[in-house]
A and B are shown apart, each in its own frame.
Chain A
């Protein structure tokens, strides 16, 4: 099983998915991330999927689950770097990821988190 490293930047956790994850590794990432949010008291989570070639219903559900779990743990999630072909495929598959915030890249994702936190604090 592959484990995705979780990086900490201030009170933001950043993960960048660089490899084709099997389902077991996807579930492990969900759990690791929830633990890390609590351990570090993180207020934001950024998931970078720039290198991800496909998002199927399993990965899509992981993104939605991470966003929902983090929200319950008082952290906001932003998914960044989705490829255009992935976005088109996801919509056609029937997954629009309504509850998941997205930004085009890491920089915009961090700006979005700052903005969201500015509005709620």
Chain B
């Protein structure tokens, strides 16, 4: 790991800031245009989730290395109510809010690695990684 950034997610404009920072780091890591677009889109969904469902939280952006490969690792954490049924939350179209229910399930398809840790009352942490090809 070489450095990292932490950004608060407390407002709609913070979600925009997260998108822009993820974009610039994705370019730095050497992701293709399509992979940049995918990871920024996933970041936008996950940051919005942390804001809307978690009542705000934190985004952490890291550059990771695996041999010669470089990648982008993003962690979104909140201290909201948590997710009682993770499998259900990862189903397309399932939502407790007013969204489309594609945020979690869709972002999982846009990244290479996806990890979700959550429990009722314990908040939610989603970690995703996108590797440069």
Contact = CB atoms under 8 A, between A and B. Distances in A.
Genuine A/B complex: yes
Interface of A: 20-24, 53-58, 60-61, 83-86, 88-89, 92-95
Contacts of A60: 100
Interface of B: 12-13, 15-16, 19-20, 23, 33-34, 36-38, 40-41, 44-45, 48, 92, 99-100, 102-103, 105-107, 109-110
A95 B110 CA distance: 12
Contacts of B16: 20-22
7 contacts: A60-B100, A83-B37, A88-B37, A88-B38, A92-B110, A93-B106, A95-B102
A57 B109 contact: no
Contacts of B37: 53-54, 83, 85-86, 88-89
B110 A22 contact: no
Contact of B105 (A22, A23, A53, A94): A94
Q: Is the contact region of chain A dominated by helix, strand, or loop, or is it mixed?
A: helix
Nearest to A64: B100
A59 B41 CA distance: 11
B110 A57 contact: no
Contact of B100 (A23, A24, A61, A92): A61
A95 B106 contact: yes
Most A Cβ at <10 Å: residue of B23, B41, B44:
B41
Nearest to A84: B34
Contacts of B106: 57, 92-95
Most A Cβ at <10 Å: residue of B33, B106, B107:
B106
